Amino acid sequence: MWPMKTALLDILTQTLTGLYRSGVFSTDLLAKGITPQLTHTRDKQFGDLTCNIALLCAKLLQQNPREIAERIVEALPPLPMVKKIEIAGPGFINFYMRDDLSTQIIGQILSQGGEYGKSSYGSLERVHIEYVSANPTGPLHVGHGRGAAYGATLANILKASGFSVHSEYYVNDAGRQMDILAASVWCRYNEYCGESFPFPDNAYQGDYVKDIAKALFAKTGSHFQRKTEDIMAALSSVDKTNKDTYIDALIAYLKTTLGDEHYRELHQTGLNTLQNDIKDDLAQFGVTFDKWFSERSLADEGKIEKSLQDLQKTGYTYEQAGALWFKSTAFGDDKDRVLIRDNGQPTYFASDVAYQLDKYQRGFTKLINVFGADHHGYVPRLRAFLTALGKDTDGSFFAPLVQFAILWRGDEKVSMSTRSGEYVTLRELRNEVGNDATRFFYVMRKHEQHMDFDLTLAKSESNDNPVYYIQYAHARICSVKHQLAEKGLHHNVENGLAHVNLLSLQNEKDLMDSLGRFPELIILGAKNFETHGIPHYLRELASLFHTYYNSQQFLVDETTLRDARLCLVNAIQVVLQNGLSLLGVSAPDSM
RNA sequence: GCGCCCGUAGCUCAGUUGGAUAGAGUGUUGGCCUCCGAAGCCAAAGGUCAGAGGUUCGAAUCCUCUCGGGCGCACCA
């Protein structure tokens, strides 16, 4: 159906131009930005495809919409794919497509197989997609999981739509949070050595910190140990009621007492352990990246300095109180932002400026930054500097926000706090619910929609999860094929394809219609950066199949009808597989 | 206080970018296995699209306000 639809749309567009040139229409609609649109009808009494262009331009042309529709229909060239055209209601133009058109889709799907659904819509445009990018200061939690599932699925959708996609995880391996992690590891390590120095409130509380400390001790012995009284003495002048200054003082003390080399080793141990853990976790979740991009490498390679120079050339920077500021308010941000702190250290924002510019310099023409919704306040300042540097003038920068998955344990909301270490990890969720259900569940909701994730329901009644419904349809198809072989029968595909016209039941027509919509569904997802259309579509397709299965026997005695039905069933299987594959969900033969 | 996201069936969510009678799942009620897998199918019931204005041929969708929920507002990342 899809190639026909675009072809018909082209013809409609040409017809409108023709009507303007020949003076029938007083206005060039296309020049006014009014373009025809073809949509699938919800009700078959209105045909297969419908166009509302006459209604849209009625005011502009100062004509009755039905009259306009008539002019358009009269001007259309002969359309071999169309059975009937009707003008209905206030002025809709309804197209009834030829019946054999929809049956052709079966042959197309069977010949394309795993390629069916893919298109060249993206024209191999180079897209950079960054997602997850969680700080390596602890294991991924269920909030990160949603971003991971969304980003990976979106990347798949973009690839299938003909974009050249490069995916990246930005590793925040520099900055204060990593120092706090290092300090946290060291405190646990020192405890392990037998010291009784109190663990700071705002250090990372999770048990994984203890594991890292233990491993560090096993590897290095008590080399990093410091006596409690020595630490107390060193920190005696620090205000212990202010958590932030206290932990910063502790970090400064560690850097001094351990020396550069050993501090780096401590720092690196925490980083490596957690990053590997995250990498492993995501790989098991079916989420992999083309590149893990190190924040620290930007500073090491002088890219921060370079991009700040570029930014300074724009004139939108200034110095105040010893710090370098970016005048982001000139571009709609709430307040100006610090680039270089008064202590000479670049901020996270400065790194990100360099990172985003680096993406452009690597030749990407479309940048997608998947953010957690709690970072939405960060987007205006990113847009601000891109605007200042003349990037994103063509709307090449996107920042889809993924809302939180709010966890519920029965009626109780699960509180999430990274610092306190009280949160459900992605790994726990995967182990209890399963990868398939987890991935499916995450992307079946619109990414900007808040999502309720009821753990007790997901765990105790996982059979109710819609992913099983779809997988069951696939397993049933496999089972039918198994039965076919057991009965000693053979599926003659050629014969079936030659007689797809036998598939004339309403249910069969609905199925073919649905199969034909798959490619444009993927493009729609790529256009809007939306993943939830695929799960909804697959559920609907599975539902149509289950209805079909219950109402008709596939393995009938009439060879030709059987061959034709099995062709349809095979086509359904292909689309189920292709669709599930986009979601990173398996299509099991049996369950 | 300011900004962003959201409010659709008892619950969880779709709604083809402003179109024709607002749809699914789940839950409730009642049916369907001598038959390719009952993790399935069929049917019934369930709505002032949070509320009030406005824009127009036409609004769940767009603009304003009100109410309610979530999240942000660092020289943290």
Please give the pLDDT value at position A432: 84
Query: What is the pLDDT confidence band of residue A422, given thresholds at 50, 70 and 90?
Result: low
Nearby residues of A194 by Cβ (< 8 Å), 6 or more positions away: none
A2 Cβ within 7 A of any nucleic strand B atom: no
Q: Is the pLDDT of residue A256 over 60?
A: yes
Higher pLDDT, A414 or A490: A490
Q: Write out which nucleotides of chain B lie closer than 7 A to a protein Cβ.
A: 2-6, 12-17, 19-21, 24-27, 35-42, 56-58, 69-77
Nearby residues of A513 by Cβ (< 8 Å), 6 or more positions away: A1, A48, A102
Please give the pLDDT value at position A295: 96
The count of other CB atoms within 10 Å of the CB of residue A145 is 27
Rounded Cα gap, residues A144 and A572, in angstroms = 33
pLDDT, tens only, A432-443: 888 999 999 999
Domain A131-287+431-451: CATH architecture, name and number where available = 3-Layer(aba) Sandwich (3.40)
Q: What mean pLDDT do residues A287-311 have?
A: 96
Nearby residues of A72 by Cβ (< 8 Å), 6 or more positions away: A12, A15, A16, A19, A53, A54, A93
Query: What is the pLDDT confidence band of residue A241, given thresholds at 50, 70 and 90?
Result: confident
Rounded Cα gap, residues A266 and A268, in angstroms = 5
**Which nucleotide minimizes the distance between its C1' and the CA of A379?**
B4
**Which nucleotide minimizes the distance between its C1' and the CA of A89?**
B20
Q: Which of A27-41, A88-102, A227-241 has the lowest mean pLDDT?
A: A27-41
Look up residue A553 and give its amino acid. Q
Fold of A2-97: Gyrase A; domain 2 (3.30.1360)
Q: Is the pLDDT of residue A419 over 60?
A: no
**Which nucleotide minimizes the distance between its C1' and the CA of A137?**
B77
Please give the pLDDT value at position A93: 94
**3-class DSSP state for residue A49?**
strand
Please give the pLDDT value at position A417: 61
pLDDT, tens only, A46-69: 889 999 999 988 888 888 888 899
Instruction: Give yes or no on whether A2-97 and A131-287+431-451 have one common fold.
Output: no
The residue that minimises its CA distance to C1' of B23 is A42
Query: What is the pLDDT confidence band of residue A454, given thresholds at 50, 70 and 90?
Result: confident
Please give the pLDDT value at position A564: 97
**3-class DSSP state for residue A398?**
strand
Q: Which of residues 289-348 of A touch strand B (CB under 7 A)?
A: 295, 320-323, 334-335, 338, 341-343, 345, 347-348
Distance, Å, A299 CA → B8 C1'? 50
Residues of chain A with pLDDT > 90, as a percent, come to 71
**Which nucleotide minimizes the distance between its C1' and the CA of A348?**
B77
Please give the pLDDT value at position A368: 96
**Which nucleotide minimizes the distance between its C1' and the CA of A533?**
B14
Please give the pLDDT value at position A317: 96
- Of the candidates A286, A321, A544, A568, the one whose C-alpha atom is nearest the C-alpha of residue A430 is A286
Distance, Å, A462 CA → B44 C1'? 27
Q: Is the pLDDT of residue A184 over 90?
A: yes
Domain spans of chain A? Answer: 2-97, 131-287+431-451, 465-583
Distance, Å, A544 CA → B44 C1'? 21
A349 Cβ within 7 A of any nucleic strand B atom: yes
Q: Which of A17-21, A113-117, A133-137, A578-582 has the lowest mean pLDDT?
A: A17-21
Please give the pLDDT value at position A137: 92
Please give the pLDDT value at position A28: 83
Q: Is the pLDDT of residue A418 over 70?
A: no
Q: What mean pLDDT do residues A177-205 have?
A: 91
> Mean pLDDT of all residues in chain A?
91
A478 Cβ within 7 A of any nucleic strand B atom: yes
pLDDT, tens only, A7-17: 899 899 999 88
Domain A465-583: CATH architecture, name and number where available = Orthogonal Bundle (1.10)
Q: What mean pLDDT do residues A525-554 have?
A: 96
